[in-house]
Amino acid sequence: MTVPALGLILAAALVHASWNFLAKRVQGGAEFTWLFSVVSTVLYAPVTGAVVLLLRPTFGPAQLAGLGVTVLLELFYILILQRAYRAADLSLVYPVARGTAPMIATIGAVILFGERPGPVALVGAGLVVVGLLLVAGNPGRLLEPAATRGLGYALLVGLTVGGYTLWDKFLVTDLGLPPLVLNWAITAGFGVLLLPAALRRRADVGLLWEKRRKETVVMAVCFPLSYILVLTALTFAPVSYIAPAREISVLFGAALGTRVLKEPGFGRRLAGGFLIVSGVIALTVG
């Protein structure tokens, strides 16, 4: 993995951890998703239009169908993620979800795209996963009744992330869709699909906007931005390297959890973070 790709992934990790922290604090649902999606669609429209005029990407049946699949996958992801945060702690959901995703994406990249990571890169991916489990804490905690529901949602989130990472790699490389255009279509699609729910709950939407306006705007900027950076890296770097490396966001998530949410276990999470960083270095040189 090249230095530019690693730089994009580090920036994406910081932004990603930040919007997940916001999602945990707001603990919204369809109303919050619709609200930040509409704001995001408006904010990113000018630059997206400029990209379309400059690059003139093809929007044939294959591209449009591909965008439709992505919108559905990402909508399922964001709604399940918010449900997971309502059911369990950030320190449980985030590491498990982010640990599952790279395993799915790396295996899929080998099978579907014929990518062949070297031995050092594979060891690096393994270190990332082990570090994520260490950040999650005592494995016995995952078997507690209170954590079972959140764990199930977290695993489903990870599976979905792995799936749409592979699909979106295909869209930006094989079908030539610019990352910014792809992400704008995702948020615009959220706004359209969730409009009936927003209209039924317009009072809740209005109250949410009144109380959580700042979080909504920050979410509207950060939710697409984190994935735009990842998709840009995917245009010139293999999925099997990018998918595990982006999990360095767990370091930022752990810092937010311990310093802001006052969650315990900073030393253990620091050790897990060290393994994650070591894994990223192995991916970079491998």
**Confidence tier at 274 by pLDDT (50, 70, 90):** confident
Percent of the chain with pLDDT over 90: 38
Mean pLDDT, residues 162-169: 85
Percent of the chain with pLDDT over 70: 85
**Confidence tier at 284 by pLDDT (50, 70, 90):** low
Q: Is residue 225 predicted with pLDDT exceeding 90? A: yes
- Among left, alpha and beta (phi > 0; psi -120 to 50; other), residue 114 is left
In single-letter form, the type of residue at position 62 comes to: A
**Predicted confidence (pLDDT) per residue in 192-223, tens digit:** 999 999 999 999 999 999 999 999 999 999 99
pLDDT mean across residues, the chain? 83
Q: Is residue 146 predicted with pLDDT exceeding 70? A: no
Inter-residue contact 211 to 32 (CB < 8 Å): no
**Confidence tier at 256 by pLDDT (50, 70, 90):** confident
Q: Is residue 88 predicted with pLDDT exceeding 80? A: no
Q: How many helices (H) and strands (E) does the chain have?
A: 13, 0
pLDDT at 140: 62
pLDDT at 49: 96
Residue 214 has phi, psi (to 5 degrees) of: -60, -45
Mean pLDDT, residues 132-147: 65
**Confidence tier at 103 by pLDDT (50, 70, 90):** low
Q: Is residue 86 predicted with pLDDT exceeding 80? A: yes
In single-letter form, the type of residue at position 45 comes to: A
CA proximity to 30, closest of 188, 190, 221: 190
When mean pLDDT is compared across 118-127, 172-181, 201-210, the lowest value belongs to: 118-127
When mean pLDDT is compared across 3-12, 95-104, 225-234, the lowest value belongs to: 95-104
DSSP, residue by residue, 104-119: HHHHHHHHHS-----H
Q: Rg of the chain over CA atoms, in angstroms?
A: 18
pLDDT at 26: 86
**Predicted confidence (pLDDT) per residue in 19-77, tens digit:** 988 888 887 789 999 999 999 999 999 999 999 999 999 999 999 999 999 999 999 99
CA torsion, points 42, 252, 127, 88, in degrees to nearest 10? -80
Burial of 113 (0-12, 13-18, 19+ CB in 10 A): middle
Mean pLDDT, residues 154-182: 88
Residue 76 is given by DSSP the state H
When mean pLDDT is compared across 111-125, 229-243, 253-267, the lowest value belongs to: 253-267
Contacts of residue 164, Cβ cutoff 8 Å, sequence gap at least 6? 70, 73, 74, 77
39-43, long-range: CB < 8 A, 24+ apart: 39/216, 39/217, 39/220, 40/187, 40/219, 40/220, 40/221, 40/223, 40/224, 41/184, 41/187, 41/188, 41/191, 43/220, 43/221
